[in-house]
Amino acid sequence: MSGLFEGKRILVTGGTGSLGQVLCRRLLSGTEGVPESVTVFSRDEAKQHYMRLDFIQRSTATDEVIFENSKQALRFIIGDVRDYHSLLFAAKNADIVFSAAALKQVPSCEYAPWEAVRTNIQGAENLVRAIAEHDLNVETVVGISTDKACKPVNVMGMTKAIQERVYIEGNLRAPATRFVAARYGNVLASRGSVVPLFLDQIAAGGPVTITTTDMTRFLLTLDDAVDTIFAAVRAGAPGETYIPKCPSAKMTDLAAYLIGDRDMETIVTGIRPGEKIHEILLSEEEATRTIAGHEGYYAMRPMLPELAGPVETPALVGDYSSEFALMDHDALARFLETKIPELIGQRYLEA
């Protein structure tokens, strides 16, 4: 079976994270072609160990289909994107690199801003430098970004915004490699996200905490995030950033759906430092250079004139904000029950 990743040697930095593990599963499933290898590069040997066991020791028929090849194809390298030489070693035989390594916890980055710079910015620079200085045969690099890089108000977002620009400029320093990016918002049901938090609070008998009654968020699953990354590989031009078209909801509606018929208190705690009321995936300035990308996505063209190409009719006017794509209660229920049924089923359990 041929496909996007058929016979490719793939490197995933930060591959032991929530996104990295789903990305590796999707790559090894063969639905987009069977890669020669998928190498996870990260600095946590314990997570690598448990990920290796998790990927190999599966017993159901579906998992056998998906993971049988992983016994040979899934590989691990211990290292840190901050370390140029270890990253060079990991990237030297790669055809495609997915750059998912990041410091992404907003408060941690505020208290350790230089550490965020070292991972999120220097790590990107190390990868571009390794490819450029050693003429590595890397075909494509996908930088995994975040909505917080748009109009950044916190250190995490600021460093990811610079990371995007480092990768875009990489197209000039290493023109034989295509550098693209994928930008999306908070991922439902991932580690530390709001749905598991609400469910834990409900299971404990409440209260359910909401920072502000006006808060809205785009709703995206880990598989949706991987789809965005794959779309960037499939169709992204050098320097483009791919952004998914996705629905949004008010956090009060999400909490109300999960609480259901329970008599449970909700508490408004106030917005946290560095937190936005609405997610913004594209600013009004970025909208002027955003075109319709592969089906279901926007493609933001780079600012650099060497990469920007001819002017096209923008696909957006103004911000692309979660404030303006809100689902009603029924649409939200259908979305959640379709996208994450295994987690949402917990709402029916007794608290």
Q: What residues act catalytically?
A: 148
At position 49, the amino acid (one-letter code) is H
Q: What is the 3-state secondary structure (H, E, C) of the chain?
A: CCCCCCCCEEEEECCCCHHHHHHHHHHHHCECECCCEEEEEECCHHHHHHHHHHHHCCCCHHHHHHHCCHHHHEEEEECCCCCHHHHHHHHCCCCEEEECCCCCCHHHHHHCHHHHHHHHHHHHHHHHHHHHHCCCCCCEEEEECCHHHCCCCCHHHHHHHHHHHHHHHHHHHCCCCEEEEECCCCECCCCCCHHHHHHHHHHCCCCEEECCCCCEEECECHHHHHHHHHHHHHHCCCCCEEEECCCEEEHHHHHHHHHCCCCCCEEECCCCCCCCCCCEEECHHHHCCEEECCCCEEEECCCCHHHHCCCCCCCCCCCEEHHHCECCHHHHHHHHHHHCHHHHHHHHCCC
Q: How far apart are CA 281 and CA 152, in angstroms?
A: 11
Burial class (CB in 10 A: 0-12, 13-18, 19+), 338: exposed
Burial class (CB in 10 A: 0-12, 13-18, 19+), 349: exposed
